[in-house]
Structure 1
Amino acid sequence: MRRARRHRKCWRRPARFNNRLQGRTFIPPSTFSRWNAKIRILEQLRKILPITDVVVEDVAAVSKKNCRKWNRNFSPLEVGKRWFYASIRELGLNLSLRTGYETKELRDRFGLKKSGQKDKKTFSSHAVDAWAMAADISGAEHPTETGLYYWTPIRVHRRQLHRFQPEKGGIRKPYGGTRSMGLTRGTLVRHIKYGLTYIGGTLKNRVSLHGFGTGKRVTQRARIEDCTFLTRIAWRTQWYAGTGRRHSSPHLLAGVSCLYEDESREISRRAR
C-alpha cells in the first residue's frame, strides 16, 4: 500500500519537517496498536466497574550482558510494555507487577489448575492467572464466576479508501472508510430477516450486515428500509458460560456506546 502511494503521480507531498520525534521514544505502529487495545478495554471497564488497581504479569524479553543500549531499545515488547505501564499510571490506577513463577505460586495457593487447551473458551484456559493475581490484591478467596466475556473491537478499514487496481474506465472503486450510505459502520440494527446485526460495507446501494456475536458477514444486499436502528457500537461481545458454551441471551449488549448526533437525526427523520 505504501509503495503504491509513493509511486503515484501526486502534484505535491506534504512537508515532513514537523512530524519528527524530537526526543520522544519511538513506538512501532503495530506495537502501539497492540498495547493501546488493552488500554481501550481498560477504559471501557472503568465506565462499568470502580477499578482502582491493575495487576500485570510482567514478561521479560531476552537481554544481553554489557549491552545497555541493546537491552533498553531492541525489543518492541519492552518498548510497548513500558508505554503500557506508564499509561496505566497516567490513568491514576495502582499498578502491581507479578512474575511468572509468582503467578504459579498464587494458583497453587488458591488450589486452581491451568489448562493448556487454549482453543477451549473456558476459565481454566484463559482467565485463571488473571483471577489469581486480582484475588491477591482484592482479597477474594474463590472464583464466584467462571464464565468468559469476550470483547472484540469492530474492525474498520481506514487507511485504504479505494481499490488499488482501477476497473474499466480508470475508476477505482471505494473501499474502506467509516461510512456506509450515510451511516457509521458499526451501527447496531435489527433486520427483519437476519435479526441483531451491525452495518459493514456498502455495494450498489445496499449494505453488508455482520453478526453481532461472531462478526461474520451474513449478507451483502440488505436494504436500509429493512433495518431498525438501535445504537452505535465500538465492540462486539460474546458471553461463554463456565463450560465454554456460547451464551445466546439477547440482552447481553454491554460495550454499546452512545449514538452520534448525525445518526440520531437520521434515525429520527426515518422514523417520521
Structure 2
Amino acid sequence: MRIPVVDSCGVALMPCTPATARQLFKRGKARPKRNRLGLFFVQLCYAQEPDNQPLVVGVDPGSKFEGFSVVGTQDTVLHLMVEAPTHIKDAMETRRTMRRARRHRKWRRPKRFNNCLNRKKRIPPSTRSRWEAKARIVAHLKSILPLTDAVVEDVQAATRNGKGGKWNLTFSPVQVGKEHLYRLLTGMGLQVHLKQGWETKQLREQYDLKKTKQKAKQSFDSHAVDSWVLAASVSGAEKPTCQRLWYIVGAVLHRRQLHRLQASKGGERKPYGGTRSLGFKRGTLVSHSKYGLCTVGGFDRKKQTVSLHTYRTNKRLTQGAKPATCKVKTWVAWRSWLVPSK
C-alpha cells in the first residue's frame, strides 16, 4: 500500500511507501493529515516540483456497494469499498407524501403550476445523489493523488422497445445517471475509458483473479477486484501488489422537520432533524473522556446534552453527554476505516 503525498501548496505528488512517510515525519519535513474521505495522507512542509507518473482510478458501480482502485504502472496505491447512498428515494417519497397532504388542507395555498420544471432538463434526486456520490469520491481522490485516467464499467439498463427505438435513452435512470457521471469525470480533466461487463469478466480471467458472490463481504475479492482489473487494463500493471481495503460509509444527515411524522406517547410531536447539535455539526468526530473517539448525533433541548455514537457502526452510546466534555477532532463527510488483514 502507498501513502498519498501533497506538497505545502496542496499539489498532489506521487505516493510514497509507509517507511518513507515515517522518515519524513521523523525529520520534521512533513505532517500527517486526513481528507474528507478519512484517508490518511502526507503533506510536505515545502513546495516541490511534481514529477508524476500516470495513475488510473477504476470505478465498479453497484446498487448497494461500489469498488474504487487507484493503480499505477506497477504498484497498487489503494482500494476502496463504498456503501452506495440508498436513503434518498425513501426520503423523497416521504417528503412528497407530506407535501401533498398539506396541499389538500383548506388553509394551504394551492399548487403553483408556473414554478414546475416542465420541459427543463432535470435529473431525479435519487439518481443524481447516487451518481454524484461516485464523482465526489473520485474528486477527493484526485485532490491527494495525481490521477490522469478513469476506467468505469459501463452498466447497461434493461431496455424495451419504444417509438423509434429511443425509449431507454431518456426514460432509464441508469442511462441518465451514468452519462451524468461521465460528464463530471471529464470536467475534472480525466480521460474516461468505458468497459462492458463481459470485458471485466475477461480481464479477471486474464489476471487469474476470482470474485466472491458475497457482495457485502469486506474484502478485496468482493468489489475491489473488478475496479482493480479495470484500472490495470489502462495503467499496465501486471498484478495487485496490495489487497488491503478501506471501507467507507457516507454520513446521512436528517434534514430539519417541523416535528416527527408519528406522535409520541401522549400525542406530543417532538421536533426532529437538523444538521446542528448545540454548536456541533452532526457527524463531527469528537473525543470523550469516557466513550473515547465517537461522533455527534442529536441533542436534547431541555437537558442541553448531545448523543454520541460509535464511529464505525453508528450505534448510539449515550444521550446525556455534555458539550463541554467533547473535544472536537474534525468533521468528515464519510466514515472510513482500514479493514484488518487476515
Q: 2:144 aligns with which of 48, 59, 72?
A: 48
Please tell me whether residue 134 in structure 1 is matched to residue 228 in structure 2.
no
What number of residue pairs does the alignment pair up?
242
Higher deviation after alignment, 157-166 or 190-199: 157-166
Q: Is the 8 A contact 2:312 2:336 kept in 1?
A: yes
Higher deviation after alignment, 119-128 or 165-174: 165-174
> In the alignment, what sits opposite 2:77?
none
Task: Tell me: CA distance 1:159–1:179, structure 2 relative to 1, closer, same or farther (3 Å).
Answer: closer
Which residue identity is paired with 1:225?
A: A
The aligned runs of 1:1-16 (5 Å cut-off) are: 1=94, 2-8=96-102, 12=109
State the structure with bigger RCO (CA 8 A, min sep 6), 1 or 2.
2
**1:153 deviation in Å?**
1.5
> In the alignment, what sits opposite 1:90?
187
Q: Is the 8 A contact 1:154 1:234 kept in 2?
A: yes
> In the alignment, what sits opposite 1:32?
128
> In the alignment, what sits opposite 1:105?
202
The aligned runs of 1:1-272 (5 Å cut-off) are: 1=94, 2-8=96-102, 12=109, 17-20=114-117, 22-24=119-121, 26-65=122-161, 67=163, 68-158=165-255, 160-165=257-262, 172-203=269-300, 204-243=303-342
Whole-angstrom distance in 2 between the partners of 1:155 and 1:135: 33
SS state at 2:117 partner: coil
Q: Is the 8 A contact 1:215 1:236 kept in 2?
A: no
Instruction: Give the TM-score normalised by structure 1.
Output: 0.80
SS state at 1:163 partner: coil
Q: Is the 8 A contact 2:256 2:272 kept in 1?
A: no
**1:14 deviation in Å?**
8.6
Higher deviation after alignment, 193-202 or 158-167: 158-167
Instruction: Give the TM-score normalised by structure 2.
Output: 0.65
SS state at 1:220 partner: strand
Which residue identity is paired with 2:312?
A: G
SS state at 2:147 partner: coil
Whole-angstrom distance in 1 between the partners of 2:248 and 2:258: 26
Whole-angstrom distance in 2 between the partners of 1:83 and 1:92: 15
**1:216 deviation in Å?**
2.0
Higher deviation after alignment, 212-221 or 52-61: 212-221
Task: Tell me: CA distance 1:5–1:100, structure 2 relative to 1, closer, same or farther (3 Å).
Answer: closer
**1:230 deviation in Å?**
1.2
Q: Superposition RMSD on alpha carbons, in Å?
A: 2.4
Q: Is the 8 A contact 2:288 2:325 kept in 1?
A: yes
Higher deviation after alignment, 175-184 or 221-230: 221-230
Whole-angstrom distance in 1 between the partners of 2:206 and 2:272: 53
Whole-angstrom distance in 2 between the partners of 1:11 and 1:120: 49
Whole-angstrom distance in 2 between the partners of 1:58 and 1:168: 50
Task: Tell me: CA distance 1:11–1:61, structure 2 relative to 1, closer, same or farther (3 Å).
Answer: closer
Q: Is the 8 A contact 1:160 1:177 kept in 2?
A: yes
**1:117 deviation in Å?**
2.3
Whole-angstrom distance in 2 between the partners of 1:118 and 1:93: 29
Task: Tell me: CA distance 1:69–1:105, structure 2 relative to 1, closer, same or farther (3 Å).
Answer: closer
Task: Tell me: CA distance 1:60–1:230, structure 2 relative to 1, closer, same or farther (3 Å).
Answer: same
